[in-house]
A and B are shown apart, each in its own frame.
Chain A
Amino acid sequence: ELKVEQNPLFLSMQEGKNYTIYCNYSTTSDRLYWYRQDPGKSLESLFVLLSNGAVKQEGRLMASLDTKARLSTLHITAAVHDLSATYFCAVALGAGANNLFFGTGTRLTVIP
C-alpha cells in the first residue's frame, strides 16, 4: 500500500526563520506535487516536480525531489506570516497528474 508521509505534522516558527518540510513516499514515482491550503479554502498548486533532482523555487519556497530516496523537501526561507497554511505533498499514480495520493499535510504557523 502506498504511503506518503510528511513531517512534521505541525510546525510553528518565527518570522525570519528557515525550515524544511519533508515528504517521504513508499512507491516508485518521479512525479510529485506540492499544494497549499488556507483554512476553509481549497487547494492551490505550488510546485510540479517531474524528475529526479528537480528543484523549483517561488519566492520564499523551494521544493526539490530525490526519486532514489523517495523524498521531497519544501524549504521555507525567512518565513513571513502570509506563509501560514497547510502544505500537502502528493505523489502521482498512473498516467497524468490527476490521480494523486496525498500526504497527511503539514500545518505551518508563522508567528510574528
Chain B
Amino acid sequence: KAGVTQTPRYLIKTRGQQVTLSCSPISGHRSVSWYQQTPGQGLQFLFEYFSETQRNKGNFPGRFSGRQFSNSRSEMNVSTLELGDSALYLCASSAHGLDTDTQYFGPGTRLTVL
C-alpha cells in the first residue's frame, strides 16, 4: 500500500504570495490532518478533515485554510505569506479518525518564504 504523499516537497515563495500544498492519504483513509513544524514552535496542529468536513481546527490565523475532496485528498492554502510561515508542513492520514487509529505521516512539504 502506498503511503501518504505530499506535493510539492520543496517550495520557495516570497512574502505576500499565496501557496497551496497537496496531500494524498493512504488509500481508504478518510481522515487527514495538517501540522506545521518549526524549530521555534515545534509541531503544531493546523486542522483536520474527515469526509470533506473540517472537524478540528488549531490556533492559526484565517490565512491558513484547507479543504478535502471526495476522494479524501486534501489541500491546504496559505495566503499573504509571512516570513514566519517558513516551516515543514506535514500531512497525516488515518483510516477513520478514531482514537485507536494510527496516524501515518507524509514526508512533508518544506516551505521557505523569502
Chain B minimum-CB-distance residue to A96: B97
B100 within 8 A of A: yes
B106 near A98 with CB under 8 A, answer: no
Smallest Cβ distance from A106 to chain B, in angstroms? 12
Give Cα A47–Cα B97 distance, bound, in whole angstroms: 16
* B31 and A98 form a contact (CB under 8 A): yes
A96 touches B105 (CB 8 A): no
CA distance A103 to B37 in the complex (A): 12
What are the residues of chain B within 8 A of A98 when measuring CB–CB? 31, 33, 48, 50, 55-56, 92, 94, 97, 101, 103
Chain B residues with CB under 8 Å of A104's CB are: 42
B53-109, CB < 8 A from A:
55-56, 58, 90, 92, 94, 97-108
Question: Is B51 in contact with chain A by the CB < 8 A criterion?
Answer: no
Q: Indicate which residue in A35, A45, A90, A96 contacts B48 across the interface (CB closer than 8 Å).
A: A96
CA distance A35 to B102 in the complex (A): 10
Contact residue among A45, A90, A96 (Cβ-Cβ distance under 8 Å from B99): A96
> Is A94 at the interface (CB under 8 A from chain B)?
yes
Is the Cβ of A43 less than 8 Å from the Cβ of B90? yes
Please name the residue on chain B nearest to A99 by beta carbon: B56
A100 touches B55 (CB 8 A): no
Which B residue's beta carbon lies closest to that of A33?
B103
A31-B99 contact, Cβ under 8 Å, with A96-B31, A98-B31, A102-B44: yes
Mark A residues whose CB is within 8 Å of B.
31, 33, 35, 41-45, 48, 50, 88, 90, 92-105
